[in-house]
């Protein structure tokens, strides 16, 4: 059902940062709550909390780039059937808010996982007055995401609130184990080697939480090639800091980082994941964090 401009405006205004709006939504014909998330990462988190009670669809497919994603007609139909919408916010996937104006049913709850998250210190984004959206690369912050997802599911399907609570608690214990494992792995890297360059600015929260220094990024924003002056300064910084490796994500081309590495005399690790899941073993959020950590340790230790 298409929303009129006035209804869309009211709906958008009512979306509380990090919260849900609208009346509790019924489950779909399958008996499962139909949830639509912007990315495979958030879809996996939601499935971990919702279990068999939810049917979760990701708009951005695996191995794809959320920053440059453009919804297709099929995505509009998927959004129209959703009983709960989940996004990150902070500029990562704000295209969803534009899409739901023309697609979502009136009153469909919208959860913004990263906006106004209690206890979080945001890092600066790509441009002035913006914040870096990649909070989910810090496992401790994802535990807060889980609380929000559980609250949204309970609001949408209150009859199964207790089950959602139990499953959320189990998932948080899993995340606590994951966080401890990451810390133990990073501790094996000599402190002098805990420096890296990434393709884009997706790892600052991970780096801050686990004691790694990011010397620079190859591109300031995905889809925008850096100018020669910026690249020259980055190469100088890499050499000066003694960076051992440049890391890139699997969904981005490696030509630029290969050139940087050749000029700066360091290696390239081009198969990290952050905004999207991939094939096994990176087909879950936990799989992504374990994979990335393993690649970092292998290259820097």
> Tens digits of per-residue pLDDT, 74-129?
999 999 999 999 999 999 999 998 888 778 878 899 999 999 999 999 999 988 89
Q: Is the dihedral of CA 258, 260, 266, 268 positive or negative?
A: negative
pLDDT tens by residue, 208-231: 999 999 999 988 766 677 788 989
Is the pLDDT confidence value at 134 over 90?
yes
Tell me the whole-structure pTM to 2 decimals: 0.87
Domains, the chain: 5-113+122-180 (3.40.50.1980), 188-300 (3.40.50.1980)
What pLDDT is stored for residue 2 in this prediction?
A: 35
Secondary structure (3-state) at 50: helix
- State the distance between the two ends of the chain, measured CA to CA, in whole angstroms: 55
CA distance 88 to 37: 9
Q: How confident is the model at residue 12 (pLDDT cuts 50, 70, 90)?
A: very low
What pLDDT is stored for residue 222 in this prediction?
A: 63
Q: 219, 226 in Cβ contact below 8 A?
A: yes
33-37 and 54-58: which strand pairing? Answer: parallel
The H-or-E segment that residue 176 falls in is helix 161-186
Is the pLDDT confidence value at 10 over 60?
no
In total, the chain counts a number of residues equal to 301
The structure tokens listed for 186 are 């990073």
CA distance 52 to 184: 33
Q: Is the dihedral of CA 19, 111, 156, 159 positive or negative?
A: negative
Q: What is the DSSP string of 223-267?
A: T-PPPHHHHHHHHHHHHHHT--EEEEETTS-SHHHHHHHHHHT-E
Closest to 44 (Cα-Cα) out of 60, 28, 22, 29: 60
Report CA-CA distances (Å) from 2 to 7, 9, 104: 10, 13, 7
CA distance 154 to 144: 16
Among left, alpha and beta (phi > 0; psi -120 to 50; other), residue 212 is beta
Percent of the chain with pLDDT over 90: 74
Minimum mean pLDDT range among 23-32, 138-147, 180-189: 23-32
What pLDDT is stored for residue 54 in this prediction?
A: 98
pLDDT tens by residue, 227-285: 889 899 999 999 999 999 999 888 777 888 899 999 999 999 989 999 999 999 999 99
Closest to 37 (Cα-Cα) out of 101, 102, 83: 83
Secondary structure in 3-state letters for 86-138: EECCCCCCCHHHHHHHHHCCCCCCEEECCCCCCCCCCCECCCCCCECCCHHHC
Is the pLDDT confidence value at 24 over 50?
no
Taking the mean position of all CA atoms in its chain, how far away is CA 224? 20
Q: How confident is the model at residue 1 (pLDDT cuts 50, 70, 90)?
A: very low
Supply the mean pLDDT for the chain.
88
């Amino acid at each position: 059902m298409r929303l009129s401009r006035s209804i869309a405006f009211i709906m958008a205004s009512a979306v509380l940062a990090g919260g849900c709006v609208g009346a509790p939504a019924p489950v779909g014909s399958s008996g499962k709550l139909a949830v639509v998330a912007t990315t495979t990462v958030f879809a996996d988190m939601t499935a971990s909390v919702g279990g068999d009670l939810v049917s979760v669809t990701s708009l951005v497919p695996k191995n794809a780039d959320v920053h440059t994603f453009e919804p297709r007609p099929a995505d509009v139909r998927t959004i129209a059937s959703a009983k709960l919408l989940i996004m990150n916010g902070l500029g990562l996937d704000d295209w969803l808010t534009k899409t739901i104006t023309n697609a979502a049913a009136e009153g469909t709850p919208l959860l913004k996982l990263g906006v106004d998250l209690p206890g979080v210190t945001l890092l600066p984004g790509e441009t002035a007055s913006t914040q870096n959206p990649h909070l989910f690369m810090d496992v401790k912050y994802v535990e807060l995401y889980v609380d929000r997802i559980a609250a949204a599911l309970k609001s949408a399907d209150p009859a199964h609130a207790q089950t959602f609570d139990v499953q959320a608690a189990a998932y948080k214990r899993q995340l606590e184990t994951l966080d401890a494992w990451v810390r133990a792995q990073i501790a094996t890297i000599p402190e002098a080697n805990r420096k890296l360059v990434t393709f884009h600015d997706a790892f600052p929260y991970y780096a801050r939480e686990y004691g790694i220094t990011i010397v620079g990024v190859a591109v300031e924003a995905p889809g925008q090639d850096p100018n020669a002056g910026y690249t020259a300064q980055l190469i100088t910084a890499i050499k000066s800091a003694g960076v051992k490796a440049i890391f890139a994500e699997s969904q981005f081309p490696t030509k630029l980082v290969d050139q940087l590495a050749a000029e700066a005399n360091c290696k390239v690790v081009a198969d990290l994941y952050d905004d999207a899941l991939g094939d096994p073993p990176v087909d879950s959020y936990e799989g992504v964090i374990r994979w990335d950590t393993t690649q970092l340790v292998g290259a820097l230790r």
